[in-house]
Copies of this chain bind each other. A is one copy, B any other.
Amino acid sequence: MQIDLNGDVGESFGAYQIGHDAALIPILTSANIACGFHAGDPGVMRATVALAREHGTAVGAHPGFPDLVGFGRREMKATPREVEDLVAYQIGALAAIAAAQGVRLSHVKPHGALYNMSARDADLADAIARAIASVDPSLRLFGLPGSKSLEAAQRHNVQVVSEAFADRAYRPDGSLVPRSERGSVIDDEAIVVKRAVAIARERMVIAADGTRVPLDVQTICVHGDTPGAALLASRIRTALSDAGIHVRAPI
């Protein structure tokens, strides 16, 4: 029994520090590294790859919209062609920075608004899948189970990795309770840890209404934007190991 722990890192920019990468990356088995559009810069990318390499964490591209001031969280009406090009560009930029350190990319996880839009829009999902398939078909795409993103990847023969969120409430149909709703994010750390173990061991989560929801996932996303979050990630990893689950990047 195995599970991957992924997290978004490398989101600092120039003089601006964000996140706690040095604490988080050793805990992760897959690091999603920002590529300079919504966050990150060439120097931050290089330093983040170095950290991941040191700790044996798999390196993936975390491409986003060209919206630094909005941190890639604002939806933009970009065309599929524009999305395909900007994803290819960002994958390549990180791939080169990684190659310079002898590291090969393992995966791609779109960031923020690009992640959300491509989860529900088949044309954008296709654009991302095409970018991966044409640039490096060995890269896996991370996404929500049942999303358009993963469907498109499969159409393009790109391997997919489904992800779950241990700290998010789910609906009975397996979708996330939107952040705008009360109770969408679970604050109680003990519960979050327990859910992570249930996700990894039983491939299921208890929905807001008590239903058992099967979740066929290979990775759990953890957050690291606060020191507390990195600590929580560490507790999740320990609990998973204690439960006899092998925490490792997908193969």
- Taking Cβ atoms with an 8 Å cutoff, the residues of A that contact B are 13-18, 36, 39, 41-43, 45-46, 66-71, 73-78, 81-82, 85-86, 88-97, 99-101, 113, 131, 134-136
Contact = CB atoms under 8 A, between A and B. Distances in A.
A143 to B, nearest CB: 20
Q: How many copies does the complex hold?
A: 4
Contact of A88 (B68, B85, B100, B136): B100
Contact of A90 (B82, B86, B93, B101): B93
Contact of A96 (B76, B78, B88): B88
A97 B78 contact: no
A69 B100 contact: no
Q: Taking each of A13, A15, A99, A113, which has the highest tally of chain B beta carbons within 10 Å of its own beta carbon? A: A15
Given A75-B76, A76-B70, A96-B95, A88 B13 contact: no
B96 A42 contact: no
Given A91-B96, A99-B136, 9 more contacts: A13-B13, A16-B16, A36-B89, A41-B69, A67-B67, A77-B113, A85-B97, A93-B93, A100-B131
18 contacts: A15-B71, A41-B69, A42-B88, A66-B67, A67-B76, A70-B82, A74-B78, A75-B75, A85-B97, A88-B97, A89-B93, A89-B96, A92-B93, A92-B94, A93-B93, A99-B134, A100-B134, A101-B134
